[in-house]
């Protein structure tokens, strides 16, 4: 296992009672790893973290779970004496210990899920040994990532001139790229080239597309495109982990396989956030709402100004280029493609609370990734070049996760 170990807020917290009910109701297909992945994601949403810190928490949790499962496997195959530890107990204990350290305010929900999990495991030496293995794995991962702290106090300096007003809301995550990556050698390893020059044809195409399709008052965006935009307005980790679960739930998969899969996916997602915020604040490129309301000052004859243009979805408080959603989609899709290999891909699906709980489905990973990029253009908050660049960055990071985690020797 490799050891190089705020965007918008979520729409609403998940009530503790809902989490408890989820903890008590097991999907018949779930193993302990997929079940606890869902529980951990729900608890993170309940904590109302922004997207980058939420993904950080889940990467730590899933890495601890992976290491706990590996430790149990080694004891099962070793020549040691004593009971073979329970994998289910190890997964529960690793998840609980990591979540409690990172989200102490959510202790009630964490402990409710933990108690419900232990009630389904026979009390005895195997359960005790599994708990010990899980707690040991969590402690080791947290110690190895001790230098990985949420970003320090932000020192972002707005671009302005003396005496001129600029909006005073603090930007999201300007220091996030200072965190140590899991997989990359540096935050800038996959930094893309600059966004299109404002005098270029590419800029004019990007401008025209988002202006037409991303306006709140657009007459060109179809009803389905609006639904897609609303669906992907949600940026919390569960929207991606639902797609991962489509693969994790395939018949015949083991807890060991899924522990490795979730560790690879969440480490790739966490590095994707580090990488994308490095690029965003390096380039500081303007959002469509700013560009279109200032279309007369970009120097391009084809970019007609619209003084009252408003995007379908409010722009996040960070620079436009590249797209964070697209980098996540590219990373997740790359890991999942490696996991299924040449075998059949299950039907992919996930749900979104910003689309009233709607479920969307895809028959291919390419369709899934493309839809995420399209959604950000339909939303009026990204240009096409930005979604393409983000997806390409995600594929690079996903490939690292495949090599360093998914295919790593134990």
84-93 per-position pLDDT tens digit:
899 999 999 9
- Shared-domain flag, residues 105 and 217: no
Task: Give the burial class of 314: count Cβ atoms within 10 A of its Cβ; 0-12 exposed, 13-18 middle, 19 or more buried.
Answer: middle
Q: Residue 74 pLDDT more than 90?
A: no
pLDDT band at 409 (very low <50, low <70, confident <90, very high): low
- Shared-domain flag, residues 205 and 82: no
Residue 168 lies in a domain: no
Residue 156 lies in a domain: no
Q: Tell me the percentage of the chain whose pLDDT exceeds 90.
A: 84
Count of structural domains, the chain = 2
Say which CATH number the domain at 184 has: 1.10.606.20
- Shared-domain flag, residues 268 and 374: yes
The pTM of the full predicted model, rounded to 2 decimals, is 0.91
- Shared-domain flag, residues 363 and 219: yes
- Shared-domain flag, residues 326 and 400: yes
Its domain, for residue 224, covers 176-188+195-406
Residue 151 lies in a domain: no
Residue 6 lies in a domain: no
- Shared-domain flag, residues 120 and 181: no
Separation between Cα atoms, residue 117 and residue 108, nearest integer Å: 14
- Shared-domain flag, residues 108 and 204: no
Closest CA to 284 of 194, 204, 201, 164: 194
Within 10 angstroms of residue 224's Cβ, the number of other Cβ atoms is 9
- Shared-domain flag, residues 210 and 138: no
Residue 342 lies in a domain: yes
Closest CA to 195 of 386, 334, 378: 386
How does the average pLDDT of the chain come out, rounded?
A: 92
pLDDT digits (tens, 9 = 90+) for 12-66: 333 333 333 333 333 444 699 999 999 999 999 999 999 999 999 999 999 999 9
pLDDT band at 80 (very low <50, low <70, confident <90, very high): low
- Shared-domain flag, residues 128 and 181: no
- Shared-domain flag, residues 207 and 285: yes
Residue 257 lies in a domain: yes
pLDDT digits (tens, 9 = 90+) for 123-157: 999 999 999 999 999 999 999 999 998 767 788 88
Would you state the pLDDT for residue 81? 64
Residue 359 lies in a domain: yes
- Shared-domain flag, residues 348 and 208: yes
Residue 67 lies in a domain: yes
- Shared-domain flag, residues 313 and 380: yes
Closest CA to 311 of 222, 202, 226, 237: 226
């Amino acid at each position: 296992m490799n050891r190089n170990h705020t965007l918008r807020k979520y729409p609403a917290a998940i009530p503790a009672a809902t989490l408890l009910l989820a903890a008590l109701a097991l999907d018949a297909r779930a193993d302990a790893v997929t079940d606890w992945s869902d529980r951990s994601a729900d608890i993170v949403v309940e904590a109302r973290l922004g997207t980058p810190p939420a993904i950080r928490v889940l990467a730590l949790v899933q890495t601890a779970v992976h290491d706990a499962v590996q430790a149990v496997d080694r004891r099962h195959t070793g020549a040691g004496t004593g009971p073979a530890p329970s994998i289910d107990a190890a997964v529960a204990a690793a998840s609980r210990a990591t979540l409690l350290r990172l989200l102490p305010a959510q202790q009630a929900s964490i402990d409710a899920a933990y108690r419900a999990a232990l009630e389904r495991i026979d009390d005895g030496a195997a359960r005790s040994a599994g708990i010990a293995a899980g707690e040991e794995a969590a402690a080791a991962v947290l110690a190895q990532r001790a230098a990985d702290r949420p970003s320090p106090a932000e020192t972002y300096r707005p671009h302005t001139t003396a005496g001129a007003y600029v909006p005073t809301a603090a930007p999201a995550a300007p220091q996030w790229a200072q965190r140590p990556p899991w997989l990359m050698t540096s935050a800038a390893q996959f930094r893309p080239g600059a966004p299109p020059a404002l005098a270029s044809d590419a800029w004019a195409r990007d401008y025209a597309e988002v202006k037409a399709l991303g306006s709140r008052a657009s007459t060109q965006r179809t009803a389905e495109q609006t639904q897609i935009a609303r669906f992907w307005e949600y940026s919390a980790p569960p929207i991606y982990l639902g797609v991962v679960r489509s693969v994790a739930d395939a018949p015949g998969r083991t807890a060991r396989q899924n522990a490795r899969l979730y560790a690879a996916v969440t480490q790739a997602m966490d590095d994707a956030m580090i990488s994308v915020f490095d690029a965003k604040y390096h380039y500081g490129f303007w959002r469509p709402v700013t560009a279109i309301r200032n279309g007369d000052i970009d120097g391009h004859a084809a970019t007609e100004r619209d003084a009252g243009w408003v995007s379908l979805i409010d722009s996040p408080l960070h620079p436009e280029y590249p797209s964070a959603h697209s980098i996540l989609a590219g990373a997740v899709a790359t890991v999942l493609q490696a996991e299924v290999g040449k075998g059949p891909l299950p039907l992919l699906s996930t749900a979104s609370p910003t689309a009233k709980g709607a479920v969307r489905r895809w028959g291919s990973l390419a369709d899934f990734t493309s839809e995420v990029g399209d959604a950000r253009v339909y939303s009026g908050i990204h240009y096409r070049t930005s979604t393409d660049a983000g997806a390409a960055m995600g594929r690079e990071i996903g490939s690292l996760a495949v090599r360093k985690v998914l295919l790593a020797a134990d």
